[in-house]
Chain A
Amino acid sequence: MAAPLERLRRALTLIPLLQRRQGMRITAIARYLGVTPREVSEEIRDLVMMCGVPPYFPHNYIGFFIEGDRVFVRFAEHFRRPVRLTLPEALSLNLALRTLEGSSGRAFGPALLGLRRKIREVLAPEEARSLQDAERRIVAPTGPGAEAARRLQVLRDAMARTRRCRIVYFASHRGALTERVVEPLGVVENGGDWYCVAQDSVRRTPVPFRVDRIRTVTVLEDEEFEPPPHFDASKWRGPEMFRPRGDESAVRIRFGPEVARFIREQSDPREITETPDGGVVRRLRSSSIQWVVAQVLRHAPHAEVLDPPEVRAAVAETCAAVLAATAPGRAPRAAGTGRRAGREPAAARSRAPARRRAGR
């Protein structure tokens, strides 16, 4: 059972809520309070026994009535409204809104601004001043990423109206821009990045697309789609985002002592084995060779794929290609010089058709 003050806080929220919405279902109350339906029933049972005003005649007790799965309240008119926001509550909500703002850029901008203003308006004057101070000193700058925020906005709008979208997307596993038509089902924030979970109109399985890698979105106004009946974006939160699809292979990467601390911090400790030289070996499962290659390269030259051999080969091949393209004597394809020495890298060649489509 929750601590006494926590139960009191819940009761002071529940009683005015029930007065406004007589007959609310127990399951809805449980969702609202963030407890189980069983806890709601227990708490109501306790409240029935406890609360009233002197001289404690029957009508001086707050009365709760449960009919089936619906709850009614009587004799509680003096609890007309919930308790005002306290400063810690306002600050906590402000932190959450700031976090959201910092990761979504301006996609939810007006709503976040509006909420922050409304919170300030319902605080007592002194607390409103503290919150205003917090607004200046606790911030989430939204500098770059304005374009990505705009695309997120377009995708959300298409999602709400169940319209297909044509997107040009940088697919990291192919190292190239690709074009496809997708059905946007949900948007998910994960560690500062936004993803659109969308169903490929051909393969019919939901896949997350990182919004900052979507170059263009075109809403196909004439193509309405039927959303799946029970899509729940929260299933895609956190590690769920990279849920196994069944085609992963076991990967082992060795990291040298120079970078091991970053790997220890980011990884599930169960994936990590220490090595005698102060480095670590990380075991994971991945279906994307290119993703693993990128993990190795971002720690180069202190990371090595141990297994499987085809991923080792992919790293070696990438290295060889870059070395060939940047060989001494070969002029860098730098801007400003006007020189265009060297052949087009392999990745750029394979990407060309996608770029033509993108420009359409």
Chain B
Amino acid sequence: MESPPDPDGPGADDRVEKTERLLNLVSCLLAARTPVPFSGIRGEVVGYDDDADAEAMEKRFDRDKAELRALGVPIEYVAMDRHGNSGYGIRKDRYFLPEISLDAEEALVLAVLHRMAVEGGAALGPNLLSALQKVSADSPPGDALQSSLAEQHAFGLRPGRGAVEEHEALEALTEAVLTRRRVRFRYYAIGPDRTLDRDVDPYGLGYHGGHWYLVGFDHLRRAERSFRVDRVRGRVKAGPAGAFEVPAGFRVQERIGRPPWEFEERRPVKGRIRFSPAIAWMVKENLRPGERFAEEADGSGVLEIEARDREALLRFAMKHGRLAEVAGPPDLRREARAAWQATLDMHRGAPRDPGAGGSAAAGRGAGRGRAP
């Protein structure tokens, strides 16, 4: 068989392809009942039977062992087993995946994730797919009932633009969080609309509202910050392990999921927003700690929130259109009216040419009062 040159083995004989050599090596060690001395590999196993010199052969073996270990195949040297044999072996209890029994719902979740990893989310990387294959090895997806149920479910897991980059960043940050490595990355901060190099001690990762966030100590700002992982640009570079300590009592779940009006550093305003009965129940179901909601007899209700960013709060109220109204305080209510008035003025008459620049709206009359 013709084989391409082994890219990471300049001294190696290219006669045998790498996949074949590794599989033969694993096969030989798994099938053997006693430890196999290197002499039983060199010159015997296909892929180790060429005329490379002893040093090159050992290097090849070391590299193969390391690569196999990364795949979960532990090749160990046994100094002297109970029959007096020395050599290499694979301990089956460390190699073989234990049996995993799944209930129907667990198997369904895996089947749906599996479908997603294969179809939409190859971006989620080979690790996820391989993990799903292994975990479902004892109940592989495919029996008719389960697969038709699985087809009724779809998990999006952020398909589309940037999914590959985001997933790579997420895997790198996971590793950095676990081993406490300081990380550097380019980050697009949407507030100031700027991309800067950031240098962070990563404390934890959290998922909220369709996005993953990294929370950590930001050496640029000298304070704790959170970063949306899909706004990381390019590769995450990690330093040595054990570079920092996570502050005692840090809980990542307390640091994510803050609404936009909490992000400014300004003096907080206590805003009150009244929601009509069509949506008040939804607001009530999604209250966050510290938010107060007073329900009225007709099903409407007033949400009381502390906001540091008044504009963000106003936009939150306005996006509900007629179904929400800023109830107070009076100055916030006036600001809301001004924003409504500006939007009304902008939509009277014919639109101005956006190419012309500038801002104030022009014309009046035509659009007003016409029913949609």
A220 at the B interface (CB under 8 A): no
A54 touches B45 (CB 8 A): yes
Residues of A within 8 A of B278 (CB): 170, 175-177, 347-348, 351
Can you list 17 residue pairs at the A/B interface with Cβ under 8 Å?
A46-B19, A50-B24, A86-B70, A92-B128, A111-B103, A118-B106, A130-B178, A141-B253, A141-B256, A177-B278, A275-B354, A275-B357, A299-B315, A304-B347, A307-B351, A328-B337, A347-B276
Residues of B within 8 A of A305 (CB): 347, 351
**Which chain B residues (315-372) contact chain A, with CB distance < 8 Å?**
315-316, 318-323, 325-328, 333, 336-344, 346-348, 351, 354-359, 361, 366-372
B159 touches A238 (CB 8 A): yes
Q: What is the chain A residue whose CB lies nearest that of B109?
A: A111
B222 at the A interface (CB under 8 A): no
If A111-B103, A186-B152, A281-B354 touch, whether A261 touches B206 (CB-CB below 8 Å) is no
A31 touches B131 (CB 8 A): no
If A93-B131, A314-B372 touch, whether A138 touches B174 (CB-CB below 8 Å) is yes
A251 at the B interface (CB under 8 A): no
If A100-B109, A175-B322, A237-B154 touch, whether A276 touches B97 (CB-CB below 8 Å) is no
**Which chain A residues (70-125) contact chain B, with CB distance < 8 Å?**
78-86, 88-93, 95-103, 108, 110-112, 114-115, 118-119, 121-122, 124
Q: Which one of B51-59, B80-88, B113-121, B262-270 contacts A?
A: B113-121
Q: In angstroms, how far is the closest chain A Cβ from the Cβ of B300?
A: 8
A96 touches B124 (CB 8 A): yes
| Cα–Cα distance between A289 and B151 once the two chains are bound (Å) | 32
Q: In angstroms, how far is the closest chain A Cβ from the Cβ of B151?
A: 5
A180 at the B interface (CB under 8 A): no
B196 at the A interface (CB under 8 A): no
| Cα–Cα distance between A351 and B46 once the two chains are bound (Å) | 77
Select A323's contact among B20, B252, B323, B341, beta carbons within 8 Å: B341
Q: What is the chain B residue whose CB lies nearest that of A130?
A: B178
Q: What is the chain B residue whose CB lies nearest that of A259?
A: B315
B178 touches A300 (CB 8 A): no
* Residues of chain A at interface, number, CB under 8 A: 160
**Which chain B residues (145-186) contact chain A, with CB distance < 8 Å?**
149, 151-161, 170-171, 174-175, 177-178
If A84-B72, A111-B105 touch, whether A332 touches B325 (CB-CB below 8 Å) is yes
B281 at the A interface (CB under 8 A): yes
A8 touches B23 (CB 8 A): yes
From B124, B321, B341, name the one whose CB has the most chain A CB atoms within 10 angstroms.
Answer: B321
B75 at the A interface (CB under 8 A): no
Q: What is the chain A residue whose CB lies nearest that of B334?
A: A328
B160 touches A326 (CB 8 A): no
| Cα–Cα distance between A159 and B149 once the two chains are bound (Å) | 9
Contact pattern, A 299-343, Cβ under 8 Å of B = 1, otherwise 0: 111011111011111111111111101101000111110000000
Q: In angstroms, how far is the closest chain A Cβ from the Cβ of B336?
A: 7
From B141, B287, B302, name the one whose CB has the most chain A CB atoms within 10 angstroms.
Answer: B302
Q: In angstroms, how far is the closest chain B Cβ from the Cβ of A182?
A: 14
If A111-B108, A323-B337 touch, whether A85 touches B131 (CB-CB below 8 Å) is yes
A114 touches B106 (CB 8 A): yes
From B17, B44, B45, B207, name the one whose CB has the most chain A CB atoms within 10 angstroms.
Answer: B207
Residues of A within 8 A of B24 (CB): 50-53
B301 touches A335 (CB 8 A): yes
| Cα–Cα distance between A238 and B160 once the two chains are bound (Å) | 8
Q: What is the chain A residue whose CB lies nearest that of B295?
A: A335
B133 at the A interface (CB under 8 A): yes
A145 at the B interface (CB under 8 A): yes
If A5-B67, A32-B141, A234-B120 touch, whether A276 touches B355 (CB-CB below 8 Å) is yes
B190 at the A interface (CB under 8 A): yes
A185 at the B interface (CB under 8 A): yes
Q: In angstroms, how far is the closest chain A Cβ from the Cβ of B214?
A: 10
Residues of A within 8 A of B71 (CB): 5, 8-9, 12, 83, 86
B294 touches A336 (CB 8 A): yes
Q: In angstroms, how far is the closest chain A Cβ from the Cβ of B194?
A: 10
A200 at the B interface (CB under 8 A): no
A33 at the B interface (CB under 8 A): yes
Residues of B within 8 A of A21 (CB): 140
B12 at the A interface (CB under 8 A): no
| Cα–Cα distance between A112 and B175 once the two chains are bound (Å) | 22
| Cα–Cα distance between A201 and B320 once the two chains are bound (Å) | 29
Q: What is the chain A residue whose CB lies nearest that of B36?
A: A54
**Which chain B residues (285-305) contact chain A, with CB distance < 8 Å?**
285-289, 294-296, 299-302
| Cα–Cα distance between A233 and B151 once the two chains are bound (Å) | 6
| Cα–Cα distance between A277 and B154 once the two chains are bound (Å) | 41
A148 at the B interface (CB under 8 A): yes
B321 touches A93 (CB 8 A): no
Contact pattern, A 177-197, Cβ under 8 Å of B = 1, otherwise 0: 100000001111111110000
